[in-house]
A and B are shown apart, each in its own frame.
Chain A
Amino acid sequence: EAGVTQFPSHSVIEKGQTVTLRCDPISGHDNLYWYRRVMGKEIKFLLHFVKESKQDESGMPNNRFLAERTGGTYSTLKVQPAELEDSGVYFCASSQAWGVGTEAFFGQGTRLTVV
């Protein structure tokens, strides 16, 4: 069974440009999460989808970040325009159900570098 896949694995863009990250969760997983780890900091929650609905987007830094999950399958995270402080590793995770003990499976992350 395929795991959580993220694309691209690395992205280097200039300040002011736009970047779109993609996450394909494990098939059948309704829950999809985006996390971010900036240099030297802990992994921080960005938002949570249940199917195509945004369940919790309290971790989104500002309105330059837009996440979508049309059709409840894959998700995209767009940063527009990118700033230097957006550099970091963006992780996507998915889980099968929301109940107690639900394990989240992580993708390998997208390393974003804004120069």
Chain B
Amino acid sequence: GQNIDQPTEMTATEGAIVQINCTYQTSGFNGLFWYQQHAGEAPTFLSYNVLDGLEEKGRFSSFLSRSKGYSYLLLKELQMKDSASYLCAVSYMIKAAGNKLTFGGGTRVLVKP
């Protein structure tokens, strides 16, 4: 299978930093996405990594190490509205004309005042 592991839940204080780790199986790897999902809403795209290193986008950063099958999403200066589930999704090359996004179970982040 293509197991993707991430913590179930994390709690942090407003203004703090939280790091959400994600590990995945490397065979067929073709990119890693992070999505944010508020309750009852559609997942929305946050970031994409296909090469090793850190991608910074405002308060959110995402890191990838392909050799280790490891990524993290870093949320800085946490705001109450950042309370949501964060989904790690890996794109695996399945066939010559398709990619398949495989999701982790999501990490529910609760931001407290």
Using a CB–CB distance below 8 Å, which chain A residues touch chain B? 3-4, 31, 33, 35, 41-45, 48, 50, 55-56, 91, 93, 98, 100-109
Closest A-chain residue to B93, C-beta based?
A100
Q: Which residues of B contact A (CB under 8 A)?
A: 4, 30-31, 33, 35, 40-45, 48, 50, 87, 91, 94-95, 97-106
What residue in chain B is nearest A44 (Cβ atoms)? B103
| A55/B102 in contact, CB under 8 A | no
Query: How close is B45's CB to chain A, nearest CB, in angstroms?
Result: 5
Assess the B87–A48 pair: CB atoms within 8 A: no
Tell me if B103 and A56 are in contact (CB < 8 A).
Answer: no
Chain A residues near B43: list those with CB within 8 A. Answer: 43, 91, 106
User: 24 A-B pairs, CB-CB below 8 angstroms?
Assistant: A31-B98, A35-B101, A35-B103, A41-B105, A42-B103, A42-B105, A42-B106, A43-B106, A45-B101, A48-B98, A55-B97, A91-B42, A91-B43, A98-B97, A98-B98, A100-B30, A100-B31, A102-B99, A105-B45, A106-B42, A106-B43, A106-B44, A108-B40, A109-B42
Chain A residues whose CB sits within 8 angstroms of the CB of B45 once the complex forms: 103-105
> Which one of B33, B42, B100 lies within 8 Å of A56 (CB-CB)?
B100
CB of B95 within 8 A of CB of A108, answer no
Which residue on A lies nearest to B103, using beta carbons? A43
What's the least CB distance linking A26 to chain B, in Å? 12
Q: Are B104 and A101 in contact (CB under 8 A)?
A: no
CB-CB under 8 A from B102, the residues of chain A are 45
Q: Which residues of B contact A91 (CB under 8 A)?
A: 42-43
